[in-house]
């Protein structure tokens, strides 16, 4: 039986956590990723995370999000769209290198494989995150490209058959 000794609570996000999660994501994006993007890319990223359609998609359950919490404070978040595409995996700066991102990937991988019946997870990784994804079982499936001012590397992680 697996023991859960992880220091932070990780669970599905509640409606009232959407806005605090997006604020943490924006703050972290500005600190670590914005310098790799054009002005258009920064604007497109902000438009994406503040889009009312994205929030409505979350409310319908079409855009699933997990949050990591430290005594109720959101310190990490990750979401999945289009069934198995990892989107918006961010960890607040003071909580980097504490295993939160790795645990979010692990939990989503487990959910997608065991409950959603998916065989793999995809992600479009920002330059800052490519190394993280490689360490967590992803592989690049195409060279880096620029999409709407945003630099990304398409990556995939296939799940082990259990």
pLDDT digits (tens, 9 = 90+) for 106-161: 999 999 999 999 999 999 999 999 999 999 999 999 999 998 899 999 999 999 87
Three-state DSSP string of 30-84: HHHCHHHCCHHHHHHHHHHHCCHHHHHHHHHCCCEEEEEEECCEEEEEEEEECCC
Element (H, E) at 153: strand 150-158
The CATH code of domain 9-158 reads 3.40.630.30
Predicted TM-score (pTM) of this structure: 0.92
Q: Which residues contact 61 (CB under 8 A, 6 or more apart)?
A: none
* pLDDT exceeds cutoff 70 at 162: no
Look up tokens 């979350």; give the residue: 58
CA distance 66 to 32: 21
Residues 69, 51: Cα–Cα separation, whole Å: 24
What does the domain layout of the chain look like in residue ranges? Answer: 9-158
Share of residues in the chain with pLDDT > 70 (%): 96
| Model confidence pLDDT, tens digit, residues 6-17 | 889 999 999 999
């Amino acid at each position: 039986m697996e023991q859960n000794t992880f220091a932070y609570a990780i669970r599905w996000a509640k409606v009232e956590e959407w806005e605090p999660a997006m604020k943490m994501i924006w703050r972290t994006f500005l600190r670590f990723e914005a310098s790799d993007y054009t002005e258009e890319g920064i604007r497109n990223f902000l438009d994406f995370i503040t889009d009312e359609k994205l929030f409505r998609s979350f409310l319908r359950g079409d855009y699933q999000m997990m949050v990591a919490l430290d005594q109720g404070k959101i310190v990490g978040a990750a979401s999945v769209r289009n069934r198995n595409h990892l989107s918006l995996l961010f960890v607040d700066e003071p909580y980097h290198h504490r295993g939160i991102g790795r645990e979010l990937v692990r939990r989503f991988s487990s959910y997608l494989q065991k409950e959603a019946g998916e065989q793999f997870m995809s992600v479009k990784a920002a330059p800052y995150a490519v190394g993280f994804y490689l360490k967590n079982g992803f592989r690049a499936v195409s060279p880096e490209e620029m999409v709407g001012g945003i630099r990304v590397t398409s990556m995939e992680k296939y799940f082990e058959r259990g």
